[in-house]
Amino acid sequence: MAQDASEKTGAADERRVREIAIVTGASRGLGAAIAERLLAPHRRLVCVARSGNDALAARAQASGAPLDYLRHDLSDAQDTDRLADALSALLRAHRDARRFVLVNNAGIVEPIGRIEALRSEGIAAALQVNLASLMRLTAAFLDATDGASGERRILGISSGAARHPIAGWAPYCATKAAVDMFTRCIVDEQSRRANPARACALAPGVLDTDMQSTIRSADFPSIDRFRELKTQGGLISPEQAAARIVAYLERDDFGSRPVDDLREHAGR
């Protein structure tokens, strides 16, 4: 069922807000960890998720960091349109901000299984959450900030699966590969603008999240590799990944590589 609810937290003076940052999939895992890293009195943080995040709201209240928490379901195209309209209105109301940031983190790995077993419902869900909603929110972000003087940065959470096929993960691999190409298209289009938005599709590595729990309980040819990563301590915590992602987002050369992988920057 589509949800359309919002919560506001934090007591920071609106005049102190110099940045608007939007994070999707912020209720748990990597999205929640990124949101916590981005909480700051000078930044208006806008989080999107189907369910709430009480810990984040409490931290925002305690620190005086402005937080808007929007409850929407990105698997629902109509609800995604409502969210896009809400984000557009918020961005237009703060067009004097010095920086606008969009972190497209929300994603699902299902359906997992042989291609022969794919059905329309599962395919449509993967396409909607992983790709269509990301494209729609990016479109709203770019349109609402077009002509603004502030810097604009768009970060899409990609995956190594976008660049290396994994048997049993066809919808996930295909949608993440599409995110990579969509990001390249953003960079190409924006290069012709006076104040081009910067964009990057960034693969964070294999994370220790609920998604990995789903993967380890599934049945596909390379399942043993993912189970071994867990037992041998080869997974990255969401907090570790979020720290590196936010640092990457802040880099002066952000966007110079439209498609990138954090594992290629281990020493940086």
CA atoms of 100 and 142, how far apart (whole Å)? 10
Enter the DSSP assignment of 194: S
Paired with 45 in beta bridges are 21, 67
Q: Specify the amino acid at residue 124.
A: A
Q: From the CB of residue 97, how many other CB atoms can be counted at a distance below 10 Å? A: 22
Task: Pick the closest to residue 202 from 183, 189, 185 (CA basis).
Answer: 183
State the DSSP H helix or E strand holding residue 227, giving kind and residue range, or none if neither. helix 223-231
The dihedrals phi and psi of 215, each to the nearest 5 degrees, come to -65, -45
Q: What is the dihedral of CA 204, 208, 210, 214, to 10 degrees?
A: 90
Which strands make up the sheet holding 198-203, listed edge to edge? 5-9, 67-71, 43-49, 19-24, 99-104, 151-157, 198-203, 259-261
Task: Pick the closest to residue 128 from 90, 73, 49 (CA basis).
Answer: 73
Active site annotation includes 69: no
CA atoms of 15 and 57, how far apart (whole Å)? 21
3-state secondary structure of 208: coil
The answer to whether the beta carbons of residues 18 and 41 sit under 8 Å apart is no
Catalytic choice (100, 141, 172, 248): 172
The answer to whether the beta carbons of residues 199 and 190 sit under 8 Å apart is yes
Question: Could you give the residue numbers annotated as active site?
Answer: 172
